[in-house]
Amino acid sequence: MRWVVPEAEHMAEGTLGCQGCGGALSMRLVLKELGKDTVAVLPACCWSIIDGPWPVHALDIPVLHTAFETAAVVATGVKAAKEIQGKDTTVVAWAGDGGTFDIGLQALSGAAERNEDIVFICYDNEAYMNTGIQRSSSTPTGTWTTTTPDQRPEARPKKDIMGIIAAHRIPYAATATAAYPEDLERKVRAAMAIKGGMRFLHLLSVCPPGWKMEADQAIEVMRRAVRTKVFPLYEIRNGREYTITRWPDDLPLEDYFSLQGRFKTLLEDEAMLELVRGNVEERWQILLDRHQRSHPELAGAE
Amino acid sequence: MSGLEHVDDYPEIPVSLASTSTILKTGAWRSVRPIFANRMAPCSAGCPAGVRIPAYIDDIKEGRLEAAYATVTARNPFPRITGRVCPHMCEDNCNLAITTGEESISIRSIERWLGDAGMDLPDPAADAETGKRIAVVGSGPAGMAAAYYLRRTGHEVTVFDQRPQPGGILRYGIPEYRLPSEVVDEEIARLESMEINFHNNVALGRDFTLDDLEAAYAAVFIATGAGQEKLTGIDGEGLLESGLDFLEAANRGTATLPGPRCAVVGGGNVAMDVARVLRRLGADVSVLYRRTANEMPAIAEEYEHAVADGVHFHWLVLPRTIKKDGAQLRVTVEEMWLGEPDESGRLRPEPTGVTCEMHFDGVFSAIGETADTGVFPPRLRNDDGWLDLGEDGETVDQMVFAGGDLATGPATVIEAIVAGRRAARAIDEQLGFSAVWPAEEPLEVVPPKDINLTYMPHHDRSDDHAAAGATAPASFAEETDTLSEAEILEEIDRCLSCGHCNNCGTCFVFCPDGAIIWDDGPRIDHEFCKGCGICVAECPGHVMVLVNERDVSHA
């Protein structure tokens, strides 16, 4: 095999993910590195469904289904119990954007501020997908959802969750996507290597039904999100040191939007497109500036 | 107090212990199904022999040298030879080059490396002796290929040739710097080690007749080549030297220069070979061609090497008369212009009436070669004097076949090999041995739009011929070197493996359902595959295709 990705599987076949589900793929790839000595805590999210109905479930690790707002705090409790048992089990809170950006933010902020010894992973499909594609604070400007219909697409920019997390000065935070599996696996390993503190991974995870697109383009669309700077891949150590891990190229934004029906009106609205372009470029420049200040030795070289 | 004062008082939490795979057969969701399709790479389709190029490239990458060599020799027994002299039609079809403008994979360099690396590998043992005796007349590439495959079937094969050593055009035509005689010797030795018999210095029509062979052998394959230069029609024809004869003398080491200034008339591969050999003997060489570089039939690479060797090219000139002028030859040439396309699609040279004179010490004709069919019985010939042949080289005599340049006029080595293999197959079919040949159903070719350029290579091509002709020609030593194994592996890394699964693992990595099982390679678990199509869209060489479930579930 050409890919440096472990062959071992910890996710069974027969999950209830939709065709081309980025959330299912993200879980499958992340677990390959996390391994069997892991407990996952799932608040309400697509994965509450994907994992299967009682009495079956898809993962070969223990999974706790919990209330929407509690992923980080339940994970904290599980980790405390494991510590009392003298076990070094990895405890993962695995939440969607609703359970991270919106409903789970308080518990997440508390756990991050206390620097709890857990890994919080947000698989972000940019809306409340399994309840019927309602907007979340992760939904980007110009997006169609059922609560931001074509007549009034999402007006606000996507919440800067990585900025919020960085402000807590936790040891490790990173963005990743299953379209770059080796980068993703490396970041999971980096998170595993840091013990005794909070680790946060923000995974862009395609949702073909919610993004209104062909399932077979699932990988391509995530790849284009990275290439167009819509979703840059980077890591932040101790809330301060920024490192860009995959450089975007000059692919135009439209090439990302045009694969997805949820951006149909955006593509027809030049003024809003200009606004979005400005947002993407501004965020990229801020990231680039932080990357360069974190790596003075690389000054002048990209 | 709630009454839940002790841990034991908490209600039991429902726990799922069985795997989703026990009851959720998500394959039932599917309307389309990914399958590994048996498709052909465009390079293989471009190869006259149809060699399965991505398959042997994959074998090399995985270190399976014997398998790689067997894949090639199933269709072309002589990769050491074609790896040096083939114009590589395969590379013109490379999907990577067509879609991106990147340089194609240097397939010939890889083939040559494999040929050299595999020269000591044992050839597949011949099948059990059949007791059939077969005669092959002519030991060039067509005869060698026919002998090779007929021997593999288990026949007793004898190859006759009029020259002192076997090899035909490979030994006596192609110059040493392109194809060293040592390589030809070693390939003949391979055939001898397979117990193929060679009878040299015997000629059809002189030492035996076709009827003699038909009486003594179960089947006969004739591949005596196109060994005569065509007449040029120039007034003073007798003062011209034959390009082919000159190349033979050069290969025997007996060629002499007529003088320091020479001309070659023609624009084909023989013309390029003659010009480049003359340069190596120290002459100042001019090629006189009646059209321009665009219309020349020579392999483009050979033309480029000739230019690099310092050969002068005079375009749009047609020699009309040659006269002796003291020790020199005075050539009167007429200037031409290009008119409408002719039946070959090339622009036709038209006379202008303007002439000029040039002086040379020797002038060589290389305007095209033809076969001497006079030695064959009239029943085998058509009205034009050529042999009257069917698609597989069959003649009016049921057990006599012919092929190679004798049938087609001057063509490439690989086309001669194909003709020899095809005749061997036809002979086996006549003799009742068709079972040893693989069935060949036509396969769909992977079109350029299907490949996934995300996985295109990001490093430059390695080509063993890149440096040829770049320095002043002084020597007849082979002008190119076989690349190193490291260079070959790097070059192989550029190949997207169109239509051939090389176990890259892309489908496995990206399956959101874990429905591609990795067992030293990918296997689709259709019980759970939901038919999202990611594997098909991501597959670099588009080995996989989606088929409608309706069409396969009831099949």
For residue B20, give how far its alpha carbon lies from the nearest alpha carbon of chain A (Å).
5
- The distance of A213 to chain B (nearest Cα, Å) reads 11
Q: Which of B492, B515, B531 is the last residue of a domain?
A: B492
**A7 assigned to some structural domain:** no
Residues of chain A with C-beta less than 8 angstroms from the C-beta of B530: 18-19
Residue B30 belongs to a domain with what CATH number?
Answer: 3.30.70.20
Q: What is the mean pLDDT of residues A3-30?
A: 97
Q: Above 90 in pLDDT, residue B184?
A: yes
Q: What is the pLDDT of residues B32-44, one digit of tens each?
A: 999 999 899 999 9
Tell whether B51 is covered by a domain.
yes
What's the CATH number where A247 sits?
3.40.50.970
Contact: B20, A216; criterion CB under 8 Å: no
Query: Looking at the complex, does the CB of residue A20 fall below 8 Å from at least one CB of chain B?
Result: yes
Is A178 close to B504, i.e. CB distance below 8 A?
no
Which CATH number is B55's domain given?
A: 1.10.1060
Residue pair B342/B348 in contact by the 8 Å Cβ criterion: yes
> Per the domain annotation, does B547 fall within a domain?
yes
Alpha helix positions (H), B48-140: 53-61, 65-73, 79-85, 89-92, 95-100, 107-117
**What does the alpha-carbon distance between residue A170 and residue A165 come to, in Å, rounded to a whole number?**
7
Range of A58's domain?
22-297
In a shared domain, residues B211 and B264: no
Contacts of B537 in chain A (CB under 8 A): 216-217, 219-220
Give yes or no: residues B205 and B286 share one domain.
no
| Interface with chain A: mutation pick from B20, B454, B455, highest number of A CBs within 10 Å | B20
Co-location of B293 and B193 in the same domain: no
Domain boundary among B353, B368, B383: B368
Q: Could you report the per-residue pLDDT of A189-225, keeping only the tens digit for each?
A: 999 999 899 999 999 999 999 999 999 999 999 999 9
Residue B236 shares a structural domain with residue B255: yes
Indicate if B325 and B446 belong to the same structural domain: no
CA–CA separation, B375 and B97 (whole Å)? 47
Give the distance from residue A82's alpha carbon to the nearest chain B alpha carbon, in angstroms. 17
Is residue B471 located within the same domain as residue B415? no
Within a domain: residue B351?
yes
Q: Which residues have a Cβ under 8 Å from the Cβ of B441 and sit 6 or more positions away?
A: none
Whether B5 is in a domain gets the answer no
Q: Which domain holds residue B281?
A: 231-368
Residue B62 counted as domain residue: yes
Spatial distance between the Cα atoms of B180 and B215, rounded to a whole number of angstroms: 38
Residue of chain A nearest B27, judged by CA positions = A14
| Tokens coding B263 | 């001309």
| B110 lies in the same domain as B49 | yes
DSSP character string of B431-498: HT-GGGSPP----PBPPGGGS-GGG---S----TTTTTT-S-----S-SS-PPPHHHHHHHHTT---T
According to the model, what pLDDT value does residue A300 have? Answer: 55
| Nearest residue of chain B to residue A213 (CA atoms) | B532
Whole-number pLDDT of residue B7 = 66
Whether A248 and A228 have beta carbons less than 8 Å apart is answered as yes
Phi, psi of B361 (to 5 degrees): -90, -25
Residue B405 · residue B411 · CB < 8 Å:
yes
Task: Assess contact for A218 and B530: CB atoms under 8 A.
Answer: no
Nearest by CB to residue B510, choosing from A11, A16, A219, is: A219
Chain B residues in contact with A17 (beta carbon < 8 A): 512-513
Q: What radius of gyration, in Å, describes the C-alpha atoms of chain B?
A: 30
Interface of B to A at Cβ within 8 Å reads 14-26, 29, 454, 503-506, 508-515, 518, 525, 527-528, 530-534, 536-538, 546
Q: In this prediction, what percent of chain B has a pLDDT beyond 90?
A: 79
Which two tokens mark A221? 């669309």
* Residue at B16 is within a domain: no
CB contact under 8 A, A216 and B536: yes
Q: Is B253 a domain residue?
A: yes
Question: Is residue B263 a contact partner of residue B364, using CB atoms and an 8 Å limit?
Answer: yes
Burial state string for A182-196 with b = 16 or more CB within 10 A and e = fewer than 16? ebbbbbbebbbeeee
For A11, which DSSP code?
Answer: B
Q: How many CB atoms lie within 10 A of CB A5?
A: 18
Most B CBs within 10 Å, among A21, A48, A216, A249, to test the B interface: A216
* Closest chain B CA to residue A61: B17
Reported as type and span, the H/E element at residue B42 is helix B42-46
CB neighbours of B318 closer than 8 A, spacing ≥ 6?
B288, B290, B333, B334, B336, B349, B351
Residues A190 and A173 sit within 8 Å (Cβ to Cβ) = no
Pairing state between β A63-65 and A56-57: unpaired
Q: Are B30 and B549 in contact (CB under 8 A)?
A: yes
Pairwise CA distance, residues B225 & B268, whole Å: 16
- The CATH number of the domain where B273 resides is what? 3.50.50.60
- How many residue pairs from chains A and B have C-beta atoms closer than 8 A? 122
Q: What is the pLDDT of residue B3?
A: 55
Amino acid at A154: E
> Is A1–B515 a contact, with Cβ atoms under 8 angstroms apart?
no
State whether B481 and B527 are in the same domain.
Answer: no
| B300, two tokens | 């483009």
Asked if B504 and A208 come within 8 Å (Cβ–Cβ), the reply is: no
Asked if residue A285 is part of any domain, the answer here is: yes
How many separate domains does chain A show?
1
Same domain for B171 and B276?
A: no
The contacts found for B466-475 with CB under 8 angstroms, 24 or more apart, are: B468/B301, B468/B305, B468/B308, B469/B276, B469/B304, B469/B305, B469/B306, B469/B307, B469/B308, B469/B309, B470/B308, B472/B309, B472/B310, B473/B177, B473/B276, B473/B279, B473/B280, B473/B309, B473/B310, B474/B280, B475/B177, B475/B280
- Rounded to the nearest integer, the mean pLDDT of chain A is 96
Q: Does position B1 have pLDDT exceeding 80, yes or no?
A: no
Say whether both B188 and B289 belong to one domain: no
Q: Nearest-CA neighbor of B54 among B453, B451, B517, B484?
A: B451
Which pLDDT belongs to residue B476?
Answer: 87
Residue A8 lies in a domain: no
Condensed to tens digits (0 to 9), the pLDDT of residues B306-352 reads 999 999 999 999 999 999 999 999 999 999 999 999 888 889 999 99
Sign of torsion, CA B272 B275 B280 B286?
negative
Per-residue confidence (pLDDT) for residue B468, from 0 to 100: 66
Q: Does B167 share its domain with B204?
A: yes
Q: How far apart are CA B280 and CA A240, in angstroms?
A: 69
Q: What tens digit of pLDDT does each residue of B45-73 get?
A: 999 999 999 999 999 999 999 999 999 99
Query: Would you place residue B5 in the very low, low, confident or very high pLDDT band (cuts 50, 70, 90)?
Result: low
Q: With an 8 Å Cβ cutoff, are A14 and B537 in contact? A: no
The reply to whether residue A57 touches residue B16, judged by beta carbons under 8 angstroms, is yes
Q: Which residues of A touch B538 (CB under 8 A)?
A: 219-220
Based on the fold, state whether residues B355 and B236 are members of the same structural domain.
Answer: yes
B506/A216 touch (CB, cutoff 8 Å), yes or no? no
Interfacial A residues in 212-241 facing B (CB < 8 Å): 214-220, 223
Query: Do the domain assignments include residue B128?
Result: no
pLDDT for B383 equals 84
Domain boundary among B351, B368, B385: B368
CA distances from B176 to A142, B86, B170, B171, B249 (A): 69, 15, 9, 8, 12
Question: Which pLDDT belongs to residue B469?
Answer: 59
Residues of A in contact with B454 (CB under 8 A): 220, 223
Query: Taking a C-beta distance cutoff of 8 angstroms, is the pair A222, A174 a contact?
Result: no
Give the tens place of pLDDT for each residue, B396-439.
Answer: 999 999 999 999 888 999 999 999 999 999 999 999 999 999 88
Amino acid at A34: L
